[in-house]
Amino acid sequence: MAQRESWATRAGFILAAVGSAVGLGNVWRFPYQVGEYGGAAFLVFYLLLIAFVGFPVMMVEFAIGRYTDRNPVGAMQQIGRGVWSKIGWVFLVAGFVILSYYSVVAGWILQYTVIGLQGNYAAGGAGAQFAATTGGLTSVLTHAIFIAAVIAIVAFGIQDGIELSVKLMVPAILALLVGLAVYAGTLSGAGEAYAYYLSPDPGTIVSNWSEILPAAAAQAFFTLSLGMGVMITYASYLGEDRNLAKDGVIIVGLDTLIAFTAGLVAFPILFTADLTETTDGPGFIFVSLSEAFSNIPLGGILGAVFFATVAIAALSSAISIMEVVVSYLIDEHDVDRKVAVGALGTAIFLLGVPVAYDQSSSLVWLVVYDGLANQILLILGGLLLALFIGWVATDLGLEELDKGVQDLGVWGQAWIWTLRIPVILLLLVVLWQNATGVYESFVGIFG
């Protein structure tokens, strides 16, 4: 078997992980979740969950990846016994499903970049324009273009493909978003928008916490790329001398900062424009925001820059999901990287076609894929990982986290006990709530 690949530099690993974390989750999903679940109240839960659930679970993935130097399926086969040896498959399946619809949404983002360049936002109505974007052959085509870009990067491998591309993409995303946020701050609706976004209403938190909590947890996992083995895979290309916790703090910090900044872009623009058509849910940035762009000065160009930024962010995430499934074929079946990428890319494209072609106004297939993968599989993956390191392979986790730190002190035990009780309990509750929610929405769709 060929020598396994590795990152060329520390920055390469951090940027790749940040690139994975920062994506549609931050710019497409986060603002509509904030909108749907009470503005700043959602933000409060989200931040707490990032720190106390997301970060500890990220450390679990890092530890397992670096300890085993393998893809998620192989890693769990190496260190787990009985059922534990099989749980890597949960990640692989989640990756497959997520990338298939992620790419479809990214394709719509590409279409909206072009619409902006043509100065055509909301031509014929923002809602109608979105409906025309999301179904039929154009949507299948842009899905194909996006997957092709993912294939092209991942085919070049860790250093020449992923590492090189994220070194260009992540700084670009940061610079563009900060620029947009500064501009948005000069708009007339900015003050009102900040008030909505930044001052949590205790009443909303108290009365709606049982709805906000599971949604915020699913969002925290999605945005940090947790629960599907991306961080296991990326850490498997890492040297032993690195301080995992330190890298993790940088990664989580940057991801959170970028999601927060996306809100600073979206809400002032929305509050400034006089909106006639607004949409909650997946259509939020497409319908509401593009209508807003059509109402403000230089909106076409601004929108094109915004959507192009989102497209870059989506690409740097999508390559990480692809790497999870590709690394499995390379490690376990010794398949040539280019062959693996081509075959898996085609399979993922096909799996996404129902979502891309779907012409229903409620985006039924998107709701089904997102519900299954994001609300159930990711949370399940995270729960299994927390159980495994928290209760079964504690020593392995501690030993690995200690490398590159020298002396973990009380932090090691603090980490294990956070996983053992609060993280597990919380994820159980969230999984239960999400499962019943997804079941009900499926009954609504198919029943």
Q: Return residues touching ligand PFF (CB under 6 A).
A: 20-21, 23-26, 98, 222-223, 225, 228, 230, 317, 320-321
CB of residue 135 to ligand PFF, shortest distance in Å:
22
Nearer to ligand PFF, 60 or 131 (CB): 60
Nearer to ligand PFF, 98 or 292 (CB): 98
Cβ-closest residue to ligand PFF? Answer: 25
DSSP one-letter code for 3: P
Nearer to ligand PFF, 77 or 320 (CB): 320
Q: Which amino acid is at 69?
A: D
What token pair was written down for 89? 């498959």
CB of residue 154 to ligand PFF, shortest distance in Å:
13
CB of residue 106 to ligand PFF, shortest distance in Å:
9
Residues in the chain: 447
Nearer to ligand PFF, 54 or 300 (CB): 54
Nearer to ligand PFF, 111 or 317 (CB): 317
CA atoms within 13 A on the CB side of 26: 35
Nearest to 14 by CA among 199, 209, 243, 313: 243
Orientation of helix 244-272 relative to helix 40-49, angle to 10°: 170
Cβ 345 vs Cβ 367: under 8 Å: no
Question: How far apart, in Å, do the first and last CA atoms of the chain sit?
Answer: 50
What token pair was written down for 434? 């999400």
Q: How far is CA 204 from CA 51, 127, 212, in A?
A: 22, 29, 10
**Greatest C-alpha distance within the chain:** 63
Residue 72, Cβ density class (10 Å: 0-12 exposed, 13-18 middle, ≥19 buried): buried
CB of residue 251 to ligand PFF, shortest distance in Å:
11
Cα 132 off chain centre by: 25
CB of residue 404 to ligand PFF, shortest distance in Å:
24
CB of residue 141 to ligand PFF, shortest distance in Å:
22
CB of residue 417 to ligand PFF, shortest distance in Å:
26
Nearer to ligand PFF, 121 or 284 (CB): 284
Residues 6 or more apart whose CB falls under 8 angstroms from that of 117 comprise 300, 301, 304
Nearer to ligand PFF, 60 or 122 (CB): 60
Nearest to 68 by CA among 305, 357, 389, 406: 389
Nearer to ligand PFF, 131 or 324 (CB): 324
CB of residue 6 to ligand PFF, shortest distance in Å:
21
Q: How far apart are CA 3 and CA 161, in angstroms?
A: 17
Nearer to ligand PFF, 18 or 187 (CB): 18
CB of residue 20 to ligand PFF, shortest distance in Å:
5
Query: If you search the block for the tokens 């209508």, which residue do you land on?
Result: 291
What token pair was written down for 384? 């299994």
